[in-house]
Amino acid sequence: MPGDGRLRYLLKTSRPRFWLYLAGPVAVGVVYAARDTSDLFTPATLALFGYFLVPANVLLYGVNDVFDVDVDAENPKKEGREVRYGGDPVVPAAVGLCALLALVPAALTPPLAWPWIAGFLALGVAYSAPPLRLKTRPPLDSLSNGLYVLPGAAAYAAVAGTHPPLLAAAGGWIWSMAMHTFSAIPDIDPDRAAGIETTATRLGERWTYVYCGAGWTLAAVAFGLLDVRLGLLLGIYPVAVALVATSSIGVSRAYWWYPAVNTVVGALLTMGGLWRVVHG
């Protein structure tokens, strides 16, 4: 595979549609931790955003693809929108490099942020890689996907000099658990065919909807206790999953709408935080 082809392959491996799932929480963490506009763009915040925009996604999804070769052979999501790992050594090499690149934001952030960065790296690898391979150990597959809130917590700690509020961390963690499990619904049949057990395969489609709705409701309540406006915004998720579950819309189709939905919600969260910084 020529060099430009490998670059395109790595970019596709990193799931560009999902880049903001890791970088977006960084932006949210920064704006809610900032005391004034001078806190928004610093070497630490830019390094965190840059790392979690691309390298962290190469790491997370590259590890996933390397250890999911057998599962992905039966997964229709790999047709067109994503890629199947074919054994090219450039992928594990890129994963190793991206793990090392985490030293850049770590060097620019205070020690308070380091456990959050380290937690992301540990869970990002343990989710897919043996011996833990958490993605095949329900309910740990769902629980471990709180990892998506860790970049935002690291950013908050780096800017505020304190850890994020417990309700925000807990609400974000539960939201991520529900989002992960919802995204696993289209994989139920391929995972069962490959002998992979997940929270979604164990619950089945109907009860997975219930699980996701309950998780998103709890997340909305947690954020609502911090600010009722945040709770109302997050409240769209349990409503949306109920609509998908009770309508003729296929979950495999609805799944691809969520990057746009999450981007809009994340943008509104970020703008709300910016309003607070600018207008006090």
- For residue range 163-209, list pLDDT tens digits in order: 999 999 999 999 999 999 999 999 899 888 888 899 999 999 999 99
pLDDT at 5 exceeding the cut of 80: no
Burial of 199 from C-beta contacts in 10 A (0-12 / 13-18 / 19+): buried
Closest CA to 31 of 176, 173, 152: 152
Query: Which amino acid would we find at residue 113?
Result: A
Q: Is residue 124 within 8 Å of 59, Cβ to Cβ?
A: yes
Q: Cα 97 to the chain's mean position, in Å? A: 20
Closest CA to 84 of 97, 96, 71: 71
Task: Please give the average per-residue pLDDT across 226-247, as a whole number.
Answer: 96
Contacts of 69 (CB under 8 A, 6+ apart): 84, 85
CA–CA gap between residue 63 and residue 66 (Å, rounded): 5
CA–CA gap between residue 272 and residue 278 (Å, rounded): 10
pLDDT at 83 exceeding the cut of 70: no
Of 14-23, 77-86, 158-167, which gets the smallest average pLDDT? 77-86
Closest CA to 152 of 129, 172, 179: 172
Q: 28-58 as b/e, with b when 16 or more CB fall inside 10 Å?
A: bbbbbbbeeeebbebebbebbbbbbbbbbbb
pLDDT level of residue 109 (50, 70, 90 thresholds): very high
CA–CA gap between residue 169 and residue 116 (Å, rounded): 11
Please tell me the predicted confidence (pLDDT) of residue 277: 94
Tokens of 121: 């790296």
pLDDT at 123 exceeding the cut of 80: yes
How high is the mean pLDDT of the chain? 92
Distance of CA 208 to CAs 191, 215, 235, Å?
Answer: 15, 10, 18
Q: Is residue 22 within 8 Å of 59, Cβ to Cβ?
A: no
Closest CA to 223 of 213, 215, 233, 210: 233
- For residue range 11-68, list pLDDT tens digits in order: 888 899 889 999 999 999 999 999 999 999 999 999 999 999 999 999 999 999 888 8
